[in-house]
Amino acid sequence: MPASQPRSRARDRNNVLNRAEFLSLNQPLKGNQESRSSGRKQSGQAGAAGAQSTNPKERRQSQQLPEEDCMQLNPSFKGIAFNSLLAIDICMSKRLGVCANRASSWGGARSMINLLGITGHGIPWIAGTLICLVKSSTLAGQEVLMNLLLALLLDIMIVAGLQKLAKRKGPYDITPGLLDYLTMDTYAFPAGHASRVAMLSKFFLNHLVLAIPLRILLVLWALCVGFSRVMIGRHHITDVLSGFVFGYLQFRLVELIWMSSNTCQMLISIW
C-alpha cells in the first residue's frame, strides 16, 4: 500500500489533463447546464401555454392536415388514368411534330405541309362560298351555298369559344399565322382545321353527287389536313381527334337548323 500511493501520485502529476489550464475540460460547466435546463423549462412552458391558447378550430385543422396530404399523395384511379393518357398524348404529339421547325427531321417539307393546311382555313372557304353564291343562278345551288356559309360561320364561332374556354397550348411554342388570328384559331383545343374539314367533307358527301373516287379523296383530304396540324406542331393528337368530333356535331346542328329555299332567297334579297 505505501508503495502504491507514491506511484498513483506520480501518475497524477504526469497526467496532462490534471494541470490547471486543462481542469475545465474535465469538469462540466454548471452555468451552461443551468442555462440549458432553464431554456428547456421556458420552451416547455411556452409550448404548454401556446397549446392552451390555441382554439379548438385550429386543433381540428391541424389534425385534418395529414389526411389532406394523404389524399393529395394518393390520387384516384381516374386521375392517374387521365394524367397517363395526357402524358402519352403530349409525348406522341411531340414525336409526330416532324415539321415543327426547320431543324426538324422533315423540316424541308414544312412549307408544303403549311400549304396543305391553308386548304382547311376558314377565310378562303368563306370567300369562295360568297363568290360562288354571287355567281349562282339556281335556287337549289343558292340554298346549299347559304347553308354552307352558315355552317362555316358557326364553325368559327363554336371553335373560338371552345378554345377560349380550354386555353390549351400546343406541343411546340409556335406563333399562329395571320389567317389563324382572323379565324380566332389561336389555341390548340379543339383543332379548328380538323373540325372545319370534317364538317365540310360530311356536308359535301351528303349534299353533292360525287363519284366514289372523289368521295374517297374527300375523306383522305380531311384526314391529311387534320393531321398536318400535328406535324407542324400546332396541335396535339387529341386536339385533332376532338376537332373531327366537333366537326361532325356541327354538321348535325346545321342539318337541324337547315334554311329552306324561301329563307335563303329572303336573306339574299336583303343582302
Chain length of the chain: 271
Give the residue carrying C-alpha cell 387534320: 226
**Is-catalytic flag, 207?**
no
The catalytic position among 121, 207, 235, 236 is 235
Tell me the C-alpha to C-alpha distance, in Å, between residue 196 and each of 69, 185, 248, 253, 268: 45, 11, 9, 14, 24
Nearest-angstrom CA–CA distance, 267 and 269: 5
Nearest-angstrom CA–CA distance, 17 and 163: 82
Q: Which of 125, 96, 95, 256 is nearest to 195 (CA)?
A: 125
Nearest-angstrom CA–CA distance, 244 and 196: 8
**Is-catalytic flag, 121?**
no
Q: How far is CA 238 from the centre of its chain?
A: 11
> Looking at the annotation, which residues are catalytic?
193, 235
